[in-house]
Amino acid sequence: MTRRFDAPTTPSPRKPAGERPRTATFTAFGLASEAEPLAPGLHIVATPIGNLRDITIRALATLAAADAVLAEDTRVTRTLLAHYGITTPLLAYHEHSNDAVRERMVGRLRAGEALALVSDAGTPLVSDPGYKLVQSAIEAGIPITPVPGPSAVMTALVAAGLPTDRFFFEGFLPQKAGARRNRLEALVQVAGTQVLFESPHRLPEMLADAAAILGADRPAAVTRELTKLYETIRRDTLGALSARFAEDGPPKGEIVVIIGAAPVQERTVEGDAALDALLKTAMERHSIKDAASLVADETGQPRRLVYTRALALARSEG
């Protein structure tokens, strides 16, 4: 039995004379299905983050009907396409693709082709180089069609057990320790749950820095291998998680870290006129770091927050 699934509206461009159109089919639930032609343009297709069953029928129909699939790693995407019996040609498009490659893709789109853009896993453009191609396509007046689906950000967020009404996606922190700590300092007063990606081998160091700068008592969760066989979610404070991974060592697999927002009382440092006055006086005689330490000791305010406020004052006056 063969079923047909509609793709968005208008048909693909006419093939040159003598060229037979490729049959756009895929197999799901044991059934062979035929996909309708795609509208010309760039189709941004979300794919599974681990479990191959986490894909939509619309995504399968789009991948099957596209003239080509632009993949971050063609080996990874080939496995997905083969699983669903899709034979669409694959083209590599990744962070090392240069302007010439991008122009070739835009040229094909201008010619009326329908191209599907995917990442190795999840929703393209999230910590992914695809946005440059999307920008170029938009500038060329080419339609952009999102095909929504799995996202590691949203999957981890809803599993962490932390507030989801407001959240901030940070992506990957800098690899070098100094730059990573500086970036964490800037995140101290973010008024929402924070979502971060991290490499397994850097996780223990990142958690130690986060506990020291954001606060050891912050609630957090470390999610690993989401949707896969060995999915694990560890929920605790940053201090406890830091200690655990320092003892256990780096984990294996894909990691997403969720960190709770700063407590409300800690976010009142900004805008405190009395505190600003003390900092300004102290910074006339001391370095920013020493001035922040002295004022923190005098007021009882968290040292990391006073230091962040001192940096902000120095920039505003600098």
Last residue within a domain, chosen from 89, 123, 150: 150
Higher pLDDT, 305 or 293: 293
Residues 164-218 have pLDDT tens digits of 999 999 999 999 999 999 999 989 878 899 999 999 999 999 999 999 999 999 9
What's the pLDDT score for residue 14?
43
Residue showing tokens 């294996």: 252
Whose tokens are 């490499």? That residue is 199
Domain boundary among 150, 174, 199: 150
Q: How many domains does the chain have?
A: 3
pLDDT of residue 15: 47
What local confidence, expressed as pLDDT, does residue 299 receive? 79
Give the model's confidence band at 139: pLDDT under 50 very low, under 70 low, under 90 confident, else very high: very high
User: Are residues 273 and 184 both part of a single domain?
Assistant: no
Phi first, then psi: give them for residue 249, nearest 5 degrees.
90, 175
- Shared domain for 183 and 47, answered yes or no, is no
Q: Which residues on neighbouring strands pair with residue 300, listed in sequence order?
A: none
Q: Are residues 254 and 190 in the same domain?
A: yes
Q: How many CB atoms lie within 10 A of CB 204?
A: 21
CATH of residue 214's domain is 3.30.950.10
Check whether residue 164 and residue 145 sit in a common domain.
Answer: no
pTM higher than 0.85 for the full model? no
Check pLDDT > 80 for residue 266.
Answer: no
Q: Are 223 and 200 in contact (CB under 8 A)?
A: no
pLDDT in tens, 203-261: 999 999 999 999 999 999 999 999 999 999 999 999 999 999 999 999 999 999 999 99
3-class DSSP state for residue 92? strand
Distance CA(103)–CA(206), nearest Å, equals 38
Q: What share of the chain is helix, strand, coil (3-state, %, to 5)?
A: 40, 20, 40
| 166 shares its domain with 195 | yes
In the chain, % of residues over pLDDT 70: 90
pLDDT at 190: 86
